[in-house]
Structure 1
Amino acid sequence: MGCCVLQITGLILGGVGMVGALAATAMPQWRVSAYVDGNIVVFETIWEGLWMDCISQLGIRLQCKFYDSVLALPPPLEAFRALMCAAVALSVLSFLAAIVGVKYSQRGEQEPQAISIFILVAGVAFLLTGTLVLIPVSWTGAAVVRDFYDPAVPVPLKRELGAALYVGWGSSALLLAAGAMYCHCWCGAAPAAGPTYPWLARAALPRAGRPAPGVHAYV
């Protein structure tokens, strides 16, 4: 009963984390223009994301433009794109595996091996998804903080942490928590699942009345 509650809780956390990972990937607010020293331009706000950069004027008019060339992008940005896309795809697979695991769990002990397999797949996939989201988000955040306090970087080029980074950190925490819950459930369900090949266990048991190989019984 307790493991079933953990599975449902992990399913909810994983679903919210999946939506958050998709939102963080699409949001352009990864890097936001900073208002420091004499760079107090309250009329415009610059957003820089994985796919586009935007200029917001007084919060009323928003102009966005996709990056013209993929080959002209910095290598870290290309890597972040790949990691976030892989994380979104893996989060969907993790969520589907978690749904199947909860479905089998509702049947009781009829399918113990299926329960164990799907719980393990969901747990490992959620953990991997959370790690994939955490890498580009934390890397970008560290670069923003480093450039902000670097005196060699011109003031107009300084940026602050955008909302997409906070969404990514929250989504990563939810996905990691969901993965930990499913792995915990798998550790509890694995001993109850029994041997993977029960016919091997039966074959190893001695059978009464059968002579050992190579021994002939005479009456």
Structure 2
Amino acid sequence: MVLLTPKVVQRASLFVSFGGLVATFVTMLLPLWKTMNSDLNEMENWYEGLWHMCIFTEEVGLHCKAFESLLALPPVTLASRVLMCVSVASGLLGVGSAFFGLDDVAASPDRRRTKRVLLILGGVLIWVSGVTTLAPVSLIAYVMVAEFWDESLPDAMPRWEYGEAMFSAWFSGLLLVVGGTFIFVAVCMGDHEARQRTEMFTLAHEQRTKTQNYLKTELL
């Protein structure tokens, strides 16, 4: 389609990637990764994130407390925290690199190859950011399911369930993967257009040369 030019795809993919990065950053800080409600006290709701543990009661409201010790963290929570930090860092670098690689950003003609490299680098980093967002949330989800159906635990013992932040993490990770993938698509589209322009220029030059030779032959 005419509307799907490399510039349009670049802008759309960068917009999607930036939205996924913002959602990933917000999700990383939310204490809503896990939720638990005890049957013994239905007035209390417990929430747990990567950085805080919270309890909600009707009398007090929401009260949160940060985890005090890194060494006391469960391995899954610690690994998820590291992966989410890597995701945000790589996402920032990727979006910045892709922005300076856009065709709309002014550059001299001899910098076209540099801009292409920046786009590819940005796409790779954004894709890595999406994978490192999907990995921790999927790991936590697997551990929660395994613990939920663990028959060795008493039935009366409350279990953690999925919180809203987990669905937000899946969504933001998917946005980052899609945004990084479409940056690669934009690069391929740009390469295809460049080859077409080169072929058209070569064909026009050959036709012009043939015409000039034909005119010289007529004059002779």
What is the TM-score of this pair, normalised by structure 2? 0.78
1:94/1:60 CA distance change after superposition, 3 Å: farther
Please say if residues 7 and 181 of structure 1, whose CA atoms lie closer than 8 Å, have aligned partners that are also in contact.
yes
Cα distance between partner residues in 1 of 2:136 and 2:43 = 30
Q: Which amino acid aligns with 1:3?
A: P
Residue aligning to 1:16: 19
Cα distance between partner residues in 1 of 2:37 and 2:62 = 18
Q: Which amino acid aligns with 2:176?
A: L
List structure 1 segments (4+ residues) > 2 angstroms apart after TM superposition: 104-111, 149-157, 187-194
Q: Which amino acid aligns with 2:124?
A: V
Aligned pairs for 1:191-206 within 5 A? none
- CA shift at 1:129, angstroms? 0.4
More helix by share: 2
Q: Structure 2: where are the runs of 5+ without partners?
A: 196-220
- CA shift at 1:22, angstroms? 0.5
Query: Deviations 1:149-181 (Å, cap 9, x if unpaired)?
Result: 223234434011011111100000100000110
SS in 1 for 2:42: coil
Matched, 1:69 2:69: yes
Please say if residues 53 and 67 of structure 1, whose CA atoms lie closer than 8 Å, have aligned partners that are also in contact.
yes
Matched, 1:95 2:98: no
Please say if residues 50 and 81 of structure 1, whose CA atoms lie closer than 8 Å, have aligned partners that are also in contact.
yes
Q: Structure 1: where are the runs of 5+ without partners?
A: 195-219
- CA shift at 1:184, angstroms? 1.2
More displaced, 13-22 or 154-163? Answer: 154-163
Cα distance between partner residues in 1 of 2:153 and 2:191 = 55
Fraction of identical pairs, as percent:
28
Matched, 1:169 2:170: yes
Aligned pairs for 1:31-70 within 5 A? 31-34=34-37, 39=39, 41-58=41-58, 61-70=61-70
Query: Deviations 1:39-82 (Å, cap 9, x if unpaired)?
Result: 16331110011111000113961111111211111222211111
Residue aligning to 1:204: none
